Structure 1
Amino acid sequence: MLRIGIIGTGGIADAHINGYLAFREDCEIVALADVVPGKAAQKAEAFGLTDAVAYDDPFAMVAEAGLDLVSVATPPSTHAALAVAALDAGVHVLVEKPMAPSLEECDAMIAAQQRSGRLLSVVAQNRFRDDLATLKAVVDSGLLGSISHVRVDSAWWRGLPYYDLWWRGTWEKEGGGSTLNHAIHHIDLLLWLLGRPSEITAMLANAQHDNAEVEDLSVAVLRYGRGLAQLTSSVVHHGEEQEIVVQGEKARVSQPWKVVAERARPDGFPERERDAELVARIERVAADLEPLAHHGHAGQIGDMLDAIRTGRAPIADAQDGRNAVEVVTAIYKAGFDRRVVSLPLSEDDPYYRAGHLVSSAPHFYEKQRSVAEAVRV
């Protein structure tokens, strides 16, 4: 029975708690911590965790609670220090996205993971969805041919009060805006599907949130071989209609699910009748996939528990988390400096270092309000 601790008891902690409770035979939540006095105890009571010890000091919890695995569900600026402390104490770590605001901090976390011999996984819960597992299987099948274009719409909507929470809307505490904290999931999926791009360029804006320093909208173009990908990262899209469309040499697939395969006439224009045989082959790949037993955070937590038991790497490991932060960093560098950025980013790049982005980032607006707790209705 693995002993679980949770650091940070805000809204996202609920997904972690429910995820662990789905595996009661394998683990037990024995401790929760939050720097706001009494908050961890309130969360334990809300979930009926009567035997869990509540801490107001996360580092004390790591030192005293005898943990096997800890979830870090705190603001991004705190991830590195908490994860390193836990790993150096011999505790496995599952850290919320984004892994950290800078590549330097990501590498410090990876170094701690390597010297400790423990596991470090970064939350990428969308990998644990049947529809996205289907998209991945089809891309990996080779049936699409070479990839021409990918369109990723990480479309969210948040009203002005969203940025009133004390740590949101600032470069120092949140690390960035919609690109880092919302599109990080879609960036992970893009990297999962296609790997690392060679070049990135981007533009950023704050279109609707004049109570935040950070961007609420960015549009990036990424180069993959002969093809391109475009990524929209937004918290200004009404309807939150998210989509991934992969255009290949032979066919197009997308999430939400759709398959199209054109055939060329002798003059190059599309035939009236599409390639039904290829569509059927792609649909068979989708139909043959076994549904996942657990989804989202529960799926990733189940994978992490199994990885600890068997000694294998988790599906979404520390390098995956770092790769997503590298793409975000390149988007910020491209947008701030108005240039095309080549990957990988080296350690001597100023944007690699913790603090450089904060000191270089434009303040689209200044934060107007700061509240200790988000208001939930």
Structure 2
Amino acid sequence: MIRVAIVGTGSISTAHLDAYTRFADRCRVVALVNNQTETAERLKEKYRLDCRIYQDYKDLLEGDQVDLVSICTPPFLHASMSVDLLRAGIDVLVEKPMALSLEECDRMLAAASESGSLLSVVGQNRFLDASVKLKRTIESGLLGKVVHAQVDSFWWRGSNYYDVWWRGTWETEGGGCTLNHGVHHADMLQWMIGMPQSVVAVIGNAAHPNSEVEDISMAILSYADGSLAQLTSSVVHHGEERQIVIQGLDARASLPWKVHASRQSEQGFPLPEGNPELKREIEQFAAGLAPLAYTGHEGQIDDVLSAIETGSRKVGVDGYEGRKVIELVTAIYEASFTRRQVELPLTKDSLFYSREQIMSHSPRFHHKSDKSATIDYK
């Protein structure tokens, strides 16, 4: 029986608790941690848990209490907590974003490597049937060579969203929509078609005067084979339509699912009927994929539990995969701050490798009115 603790009992922790309690025959939640214990008490009662409640995650480091910890805190706490837990020999599943800088990611990876502990970063959208269907279709080659990807990570948040003390600052949130909302789609993009060779980008704050950070960003990603991708992250889009559109030489497919295949006329224009045979082949391939046993957070937590149970220590989204997303977001920030093209991969010599470097170069679009608060894990 795998003993689990959850650090941070805010809204995202319920996704973890739903999953862990689903696998009650494989694991048991033995501790909840939040420095304001009222929220932890409410969750303990809601889920009928027989567990301890702590105010400080460091209490988990004493003795042999837990095997696996889910970190569900604000992003600026991810790195320090993960490093301490990993060094103590405890496996870690950390919410996205993995950390606020590449330097922090590298410290987390080093701690996992030195201790032999498992480090996984939440990427629950990889564990959705629709996401897997699009990825497998790309890998099948039926679309042809990928020539363009359009990724719209459109969200909407009111101005009072940033009244929460830790949101809207470079120091505690680490960035705006690019890091904390676009991270979902940035992860899926690089998972599906790989990391780009270079990035150009612009960011801005169009609608949130109580936030230092961006609420919209647009990036163009260039790949070594000549293909391009565009990634837009936003919290100003009404309707919150989100999509990934993959254009291949022979056909396109997208999430939400849609397929189209063109065929040229003698003059090079698309024929009205397109290429129905190829479209039908793609649809048949996608329809033949087996559904996942578990999806979302449940799918990822099943993956982590299996890696611990079998001793393989191999997970679908490990620390290196989590780092790729931070590298891509960092490149977008560097490109927008410096107004130049940024080449990947980024190294330790990058101008934006550490939090201190990001803090010293990042623009403050507005004044965050209230930064004073007691650090809370929720």
Query: 1:371 deviation in Å?
Result: 8.6
Q: Does 1:254 align with 2:258?
A: no
Query: Which has the higher mean CA deviation after the structures are superposed, 206-215 or 54-63?
Result: 54-63
Do 1:33 and 1:61's aligned partners in 2 also have CA atoms closer than 8 Å? no
1:319 maps onto 2:320 in alignment: yes
Residues in 1 aligned to 2:135 and 2:99: alpha-carbon distance in whole angstroms: 26
Worse overlay, 100-109 or 275-284: 275-284
Deviations 1:290-314 (Å, cap 9, x if unpaired)?
Answer: 1112111111101110111123310
**What percentage of residue pairs aligned between the two structures are identical?**
52
Count of residue correspondences:
372
* Offset from partner CA, 1:187-222 (integer Å, 9 cap, x none): 000011011100001000001000000000000000
Q: Where does residue 19 of structure 1 map in the other structure? A: 19
Report the counterpart of residue 283 of structure 1 in structure 2.
283
Matches within 5 A, 1:1-377: 1-49=1-49, 51-64=50-63, 66-224=65-223, 225-312=225-312, 313-369=314-370
Q: How far apart in 1 are the matches of 2:240 and 2:262?
A: 29
Shift in Å, 1:177: 0.3
The whole-number CA distance in structure 2 between the counterparts of 1:105 and 1:371 is 24
Contact 1:303/1:314 (8 A) holds in 2: yes
SS in 2 for 1:236: coil
Letter aligned with residue 303 of structure 2: D
**Rounded Cα–Cα distance in structure 2 between residues aligned with 1:69 and 1:217:** 36
Residues 158-199 of structure 1: CA deviation (Å, up to 9, x unaligned): 001111111100100000000000000100000110111000
Query: Given that residues 99 and 105 in structure 2 are in contact (C-alpha distance below 8 angstroms), is that contact kept between their aligned partners in structure 1?
Result: yes
Q: State whether residues 137 and 285 of structure 1, in contact with CA within 8 Å, keep that contact through their aligned partners in structure 2.
A: no
Point out the more displaced range, 294-303 or 55-64: 55-64
1:38 positional shift: 3.9
Cα distance in 1, alignment partners of residues 183 and 26 from structure 2: 30
- Aligned residue type for 2:53: A
Amino acid at match of 1:182: H
Would the aligned equivalents of 2:37 and 2:53 in 1 still touch at CA under 8 Å? no
**Can you list the C-alpha shifts for 1:347-367, whole angstroms capped at 9, x where unaligned?**
111211232111211100011
- Cα distance, 1:268 vs structure 2: 1.1
Moved more, 196-205 or 289-298: 289-298
| One-letter code aligned to 1:152 | V
> 2:213–2:364: 8 Å Cα contact kept in structure 1?
yes
Ranges in structure 2 where 5+ consecutive residues have no aligned partner:
none
> What per-residue deviation string (whole Å, max 9, x for no partner) do you get for residues 69-126 of structure 1?
0000111111011111111111110000000000000000001111111111000000
Hey, what's the Cα distance between the residues in 1 that align with 2:264 and 2:238?
Answer: 37
Whether the 8 Å contact between 1:40 and 1:56 is mirrored in structure 2 is no
Which residue type is aligned with residue 86 of structure 1? L
- The more displaced of 228-237 and 58-67 is 58-67
- Rounded to whole Å, the distance in 2 between the matches of 1:89 and 1:302 is 23
Report the TM-score when normalising by structure 2. Answer: 0.96
SS at 2:283's partner residue?
Answer: helix
| Structure 1 CA distance for aligned equivalents of residues 248 and 51 of structure 2 | 51
Distance 1:122 1:267 in 2: 50
Per-residue CA deviation, residues 123-176 of structure 1 (Å, 9 max, x unaligned), is: 000001111110001011111111111000000000011111111001000000
For the aligned residues, what is the CA RMSD? Answer: 1.3
Q: d(CA) in 2 for partners of 1:307 and 1:142? A: 30
Query: What one-letter code is carried by the residue in structure 1 that aligns with 2:249?
Result: E
